Amino acid sequence: MAPYIPLTPDLPLKSILTPDHIAHIENGITGVAAEARTYVDDVAVQIQAGQVTDAAFDAAVDRAAADGRLVVEGGGGTAPGVEVIETQPGAYQFTSGTTEAMLYGLTAEQKLPAAAKSDLRTEFTTKTEVQEAGYLTNVPDSSVATLVQTPGTGTRNGVHDAIDKRTSVINALAFGYDPTGTTISGPAVQAAIDAAAANGGGSVFVPDGHLKLSSSLKPRTDVRLFCNEGRVKVTATAGIHAFLVDPASPITGRFTVEGFDFVGTKGDPGVYPSRHNISITGAQQGGGMRSGGWFVGNQSTIPSAAGQPLVQDLVYRNCTFTNLQQPLHFSGFSGHGEVTGCKFVNTLDPSFTYMGPNASLIYKGNLTLNGGDNGVSVSRMTRNVVISDNIFIGCAYFGIWVAGYILDDSNMDPGADRFTVSDNVIFNCGDGGISLANGPRYGTISGNLVDTILAGPLDAPTLGKGHGVRISGFPDDRPVIRHVDTINVTGNTFRNIARAGIGIRDARNVRIGENLFVNVGRETQVGTGDPIASTDTQYNCGIYTAVSSSLANIFIVNNTFIDERQSPLMNYGIPDNLAAVARCFGNQGTGLRNPLNEPLTAGSNVSTNATMSVNGQAGTNRRMFFQSSGSNRWEIRVSQAETGSNNGSLFQIMRYSDTGSYISTPFQINRSTGEVRFGDTPPVFTQGLSLGNDSTVFLGTGTGTKLGTSASKMAFYGGTPIAKPSLTYSKAGETAAEAQLRGVLVALGLVTDNTLA
């Protein structure tokens, strides 16, 4: 039998009818009970011979299931004569004459009592196969009955869940919900939520329309409130939260909200990023809804959390929040939080604070447009956080805030522990892309695109703002007591950032690697309008640190810095004061105002195998340059092709002019012969030249070698050097030996012969 594949995930049971099934229903249409035919008419599908397609019937089943009125499960069979009988009020069973499978429907409003469940089990006596999650085949009736009653079994999950009160779908219409929005429907929806909770949990379906509230709904344990995505607008007549935790009702399991549009009344200024697109008056905003959910549990340390109950798991999926003050707030919960597929437009930041020590949060696949604060704030000792695959556009401050918070001396807390921020897009924000301020620890920032960060929001430009990523210890406005610790910033792209791609201070054990920085920096300072100097190490830098900062074990590796503007503005990739305290290697830059400064250290004072290699193919130049203001001054290289027998790959030192042009090669060593050559001018040894014991000085062959010039002074055996002496005595009376000695001295150039005849 083919596996069961639901048409719409998460609803208890769905149609698996095949064209054969439809034919069977058509053949047995005359036996359909009146109430069943009424249902078919209601969902606008006429089951008449020749008029029903497989797709049409499946669509009708899905609509009915979504309405919470009827859930249908299909079975196989080839025998004709299928008919529908009513087995209980609101429950229908299709039977086929075969023993292959069963097909039944169940209305959510009329949940089957225990007796009906027993009757259903009795129906299994004529069936030898049950198709659902367990895919049981030819199972004895007694075993099926046991499995239906036993929690955790595949049969219970696949069959019994459809009639089990914990997963049955309650329709808010049955409790008086008004989808037109003409009347207040909060009490009706609350009654449906409470009914599901009273059953031990379950799903509450709100049909398409307008849900109007005048007071906050109270979340309950293991209740899922859902609607067709984007088809229910939720508004309020006063400044309330759509959901507010009931102090008398702990959430000991999971509370889930899916698919709703929460709409407030605040205006949209049309200019972004802007901080004033939300105005806050008093404790709540006047008129309209304040938030789509405000959940404060007993794990929070803020004063307002006193007396709050346990809040365990909270889930929001595929909801939209528009023109709200605080769209969503989770604080002090102890289990798992999840916000996925949601959209936030013209609101402040969805915020998550004070999570319990073992709590966790997933914030994934969401979109923020034109936020009046951060795009999302994960703050104040949150833990175990994943923020991924989101888009943040036009936020007043940071796109992502994974940081602490400082209000005053008595109200300040450090940032998050254990988090990843990955694969997000952040565009056109005021203060920065990602904030790691106030001592967050143990995190990875990877694969994010941060594009166009201003120097503060348009309505409040501020000196010092404009970071791709900002990293600082806690507190960041006074002497630090907790460093940022163990952070890996890797594989991100920073483009058009006002102040710096990354700012870092008061941090330890940080790696910044494989990032791309393009066109960082601006022409003038905020406020004064003064040009930013090309030597400024605090602005217009790829990565920088504060003048007064405590850094330890900082690695900056394999990053790329590019300024492609006609008049470059990026001063440094890595300024000197940062390069002096960080381990930098493998970084590259082009178009910068100042050359990339990258001190390089191989090994340490305890290393036993420190090496540095410059490799290349034979015949290629393996080179190292020393420059001034980007122009070559000296080059050390290995050059010349290798021809075997140790020939080639000469070691050379070359010199360059003020313009960076080659002048000559004053020093060269031949690898084959070991011959050392001192270029085209004699070497000058200002400290003398010392030869070891028994050393030999070899002089040239052929025409010989000259020592010194006529202007030189010389001495032997430690004597004071003197100019070349002149012989001025008379040759008269000179013996033959003396004449010979004089001739030799003159021939050797040791004296000048000015003797008289």
Q: Are 516 and 467 found together in one domain?
A: yes
Where is mean pLDDT largest: 13-17, 390-394, 459-463, 683-687?
390-394
Q: Are 213 and 327 found together in one domain?
A: no
CATH code for the domain of 330 = 2.160.20
Q: Are 267 and 414 found together in one domain?
A: yes
Among 548, 571, 590, give the residue marking a domain's end: 590
Residue 696 lies in a domain: no
Q: How high does pLDDT run on average in the chain?
A: 78
Q: Are 321 and 381 found together in one domain?
A: yes
pLDDT exceeds 60 at position 347 = yes
Q: What is the mean pLDDT of residues 741-747?
A: 84
Q: Are 525 and 397 found together in one domain?
A: yes
Are 627 and 596 spatial neighbours (Cβ–Cβ below 8 Å)?
Answer: no
Residue 700 lies in a domain: no
Q: What does 524-536 look like in DSSP terms, one character per residue?
A: B-TTT-PBPPTT-
Residue 146's pLDDT is: 54
- % of the chain residues with pLDDT over 90: 48
**Cα–Cα distance, 128 to 140 (Å, whole number):** 8
Digit-coded pLDDT (tens) for 536-579: 999 999 999 987 789 999 999 999 999 999 999 999 999 999 99
Residue 16's pLDDT is: 33
Are 33 and 25 spatial neighbours (Cβ–Cβ below 8 Å)?
Answer: no
Residue 428's pLDDT is: 97
Q: Are 248 and 282 found together in one domain?
A: no
**Cα–Cα distance, 509 to 283 (Å, whole number):** 41
Residue 710's pLDDT is: 64
pLDDT exceeds 80 at position 123 = no
pLDDT-derived band at 38, boundaries 50, 70, 90? very low
Q: How many CA atoms lie within 13 A of 571 on its CB side?
A: 23
- DSSP secondary structure letter of residue 547: S
pTM attached to this predicted model:
0.68
Among 129, 162, 195, give the residue marking a domain's end: 162
Residue 4 lies in a domain: no
Digit-coded pLDDT (tens) for 219-253: 999 999 999 999 999 999 988 999 999 999 999 99
Residue 52's pLDDT is: 39
Please name the residues in contact with 208: beta carbons below 8 A apart, sequence gap of 6 or more: 179, 227, 228, 231, 232
pLDDT-derived band at 134, boundaries 50, 70, 90? very low
Comparison of pLDDT for 298 and 88, the residue scoring more:
298
Token couple for 750: 């040791």
Q: What is the mean pLDDT of residues 443-458?
A: 97
Residue 168's pLDDT is: 65
Least confident of 22-26, 454-458, 704-708: 22-26
Q: Are 45 and 92 found together in one domain?
A: yes
Q: Are 548 and 412 found together in one domain?
A: yes
Q: Are 289 and 245 found together in one domain?
A: no
pLDDT-derived band at 736, boundaries 50, 70, 90? confident
Q: What is the mean pLDDT of residues 22-48?
A: 36
**Cα–Cα distance, 438 to 674 (Å, whole number):** 60
**Cα–Cα distance, 129 to 119 (Å, whole number):** 17
**Enclosing domain of residue 62:** 19-162
If one counts the domains in the chain, the total is 5
- % of the chain residues with pLDDT over 70: 73
Comparison of pLDDT for 334 and 79, the residue scoring more:
334
What separation, in Å, do the N-terminal and C-terminal C-alpha atoms of the chain show? 134
Residue 304's pLDDT is: 60
Residue 276's pLDDT is: 53
Digit-coded pLDDT (tens) for 479-488: 899 999 999 9
CA distances from 72 to 94, 181, 437, 476 (A): 10, 30, 54, 60
Q: What is the mean pLDDT of residues 279-305?
A: 68
